A and B are shown apart, each in its own frame.
Chain A
Amino acid sequence: MLPYIVLEIRRTLRDGVFMIFGIGMPVLMYLLFTNLGGGGDDASGWKAFSMVGMAAYGALGAAMSIGTGVASDKSLGWLQQLRITPLAPSRVVVGRAISGSVTVLPTILTVLLAGALVNGVRLEVWQWTALTLLLWIGALPFTMLGIGNGYRLTPQATGVVNVACLMGFAIVGGLWFPLSEYPSWLRSIGTYTPAHRFADLGWATTGGHAPSAGTFAVLAGWLLLFGAYAVVSYRRSARTV
């Protein structure tokens, strides 16, 4: 499985468009959102809050974009070619999720670096470490969702659906603007989105405390749901070859 992971990471790193938009976009948005318009009285709080939101947004986007890659692999016949190698199907899926996760990491790190170096966000060492790890591991449900879409849909449809999911999650989940700015009905929907709970892992950390049990429970629920979706989609794609 390791050579497969290495191969897929290599392919992603050579994808210039992904590297620029996947990594560049969240950083750019973070710097714009936090440095335009003055930031009001709690500028440093907003800089830390938005740093987590944008890192989560970038991680989410990178995780879901793995699905676009899966869909184009399918259309190239590469998934079928993999199926006639001795590599077991479950390893193919897990390998793809792991290789995807590795490409999620640089997106998180660049936003955090921008927060620390450009915006002067100050956290304890353990907070930086926990933040990175939690956002990295917490992206797994979105990886599953993206991969599930990729196995099920054409490359074009996957791209569109992924972008729609990403924007929807980012807005409703409060990654770009805090949920507290929203009307109460939207706020209560927002708190149950995986994106909000995902970012909450980070906000709890910057706030100096452990994420709540509710956050873990909601995320675990979404992971199960999206994981099942990915497996069902993979079986379906395998059947119709």
Chain B
Amino acid sequence: MVQARLRTVSVMEKTTGNGPAVVFTGAVKTFGRAERTVRAVDGIDLTVERGETVALLGRNGAGKSTAISLLLGLNEPDSGGVQLLGSAPEQAVRAGRVGAMLQDGRPIPRVTVRELIAFVASTYPSPMPVPESLALAGVSAYADRRIDKLSGGQIQRVRFAVALAGNPELVVLDEPTAALDVEARRAFWGSMRAYARRGNTVLFSTHYLEEADENADRIVVIDHGRIVADGSGDLIKESVGGSHVSFDLAGGPTQGLELLPGVNAVEIRGDRALLRTDDSDATVIELARLGRVRNLRVSPATLEDAFLSLTSPATDSESETV
């Protein structure tokens, strides 16, 4: 709590205006033409306060990248609105208040890391000193090498340095750790948190649940272009509720398990039954009555369970007719 307040104060010092960093109001973006259109973003309402670190969590094709392109002014919503730091996205970008790392950005050949970062910094009104953004992104060691000679993980960090170079108030990262190995990923999130601690706002998209849970104050779950959940990881787990009850079948029957009180899903893994239940007490009491308690275990639902129950896989029907 105290920490949160301290952070708010430092944000106030840093930014000129007040109000939220990001506001989506009923934003809709449709692709395609005539009969075959896809509502990539289908009415998003979202407010991100300054200083927050927010994860946009969703499957591939859920609409995360489209939402980010609306946020950065690369696309315009068909209806609804998007505000960035109190102004239109394009204005906020033009004023140098935003830095971004896009999903499909690849390095441009024949420039060194330092040259690239120095150039990007030069386009911003009050950039970070170049050595500082190099250090923060963890690329100082190869600052004088050409970008096309770097490894995938190193390039990803360079792209992060590009996002930081202008010392923006808001950093937007689209799938920043795709194609990184575990160690590079950990290092990346370390850098990201260091930047967020300075009072900056960070919005990142990911389809890795653990990343969202570990690195964001708040998770916004997007599915089929809509927000289906919004809150801390714990809050989202609670909202879905439920827990797991598992026990050894020991050769016993599997039919009828789904009829036990509270149970809404049954999975058989080898000789073990996994029940998902809304009322673990009732389920366990009934199992005990049936004498099926060998190696019985009750565990709370995971974020993965919550995510799976909140979202549905992409299907052909995703191309809705509008």
Which residues of A are in contact with B by a Cβ distance under 8 Å?
3-4, 6-7, 10-11, 14-15, 73, 76-78, 80-81, 83-88, 241
Is residue B105 within 8 Å, beta carbon to beta carbon, of the partner chain?
yes
A152-B315 Cα distance, complex, nearest whole Å = 32
State the main secondary structure of chain B at its contact with A.
loop
Complex interface: chain B residues within 8 A of A81 (CB)? 100, 102, 105, 162
Bitwise interface map of B from 92 to 129 toward A, beta carbon under 8 Å scored 1, else 0: 01111011101011111111000110111011110000
Of the candidates A77, A78, A84, A87, the one whose C-beta lies within 8 Å of that of B72 is A84
Contact yes or no, A78 B98, CB < 8 A: no
7 nearest CB pairs, A to B: A77-B105, A3-B122, A86-B96, A14-B110, A85-B123, A11-B110, A76-B106
A11-B98 Cα distance, complex, nearest whole Å = 26
Pick the most buried of A11, A78, A81: most chain B CB atoms within 10 A of its CB: A81
Complex interface: chain A residues within 8 A of B125 (CB)? 86
Contact yes or no, A87 B102, CB < 8 A: no
B167 → chain A, closest Cβ, in Å? 12
Is residue B232 within 8 Å, beta carbon to beta carbon, of the partner chain?
no
B interface bracket (residues with beta carbon within 8 Å of A): 20 to 34
Complex interface: chain A residues within 8 A of B107 (CB)? 76
14 A-B residue pairs with CB within 8 Å: A4-B119, A4-B123, A7-B115, A10-B115, A11-B108, A81-B105, A83-B93, A84-B99, A85-B123, A85-B166, A86-B123, A86-B124, A241-B74, A241-B75
Is residue B154 within 8 Å, beta carbon to beta carbon, of the partner chain?
no
| With A4-B119, A15-B110 as contacts: A77 and B102 at CB distance below 8 Å | yes
A216 → chain B, closest Cβ, in Å? 36
Complex interface: chain A residues within 8 A of B102 (CB)? 77, 80-81, 84
Complex interface: chain A residues within 8 A of B30 (CB)? none
A73-B106 Cα distance, complex, nearest whole Å = 9
Complex interface: chain B residues within 8 A of A7 (CB)? 111, 115-116, 119
Find the B residue at minimum CB distance from A238.
Answer: B74
| With A84-B72, A241-B69, A241-B75 as contacts: A73 and B111 at CB distance below 8 Å | no
Contact yes or no, A80 B105, CB < 8 A: yes
| With A7-B115, A7-B119 as contacts: A85 and B109 at CB distance below 8 Å | no
Contact yes or no, B100 A84, CB < 8 A: yes
Beyond the given pairs A6-B119, A83-B74, 20 more chain A to chain B contacts, judged by CB atoms under 8 angstroms and listed by A's residue number, are A3-B118, A3-B123, A7-B111, A7-B115, A7-B119, A11-B111, A15-B110, A73-B108, A76-B106, A76-B108, A77-B106, A78-B105, A80-B74, A81-B100, A84-B74, A84-B98, A85-B93, A86-B96, A86-B124, A241-B69
Complex interface: chain B residues within 8 A of A83 (CB)? 74, 93
Contact yes or no, B69 A86, CB < 8 A: no
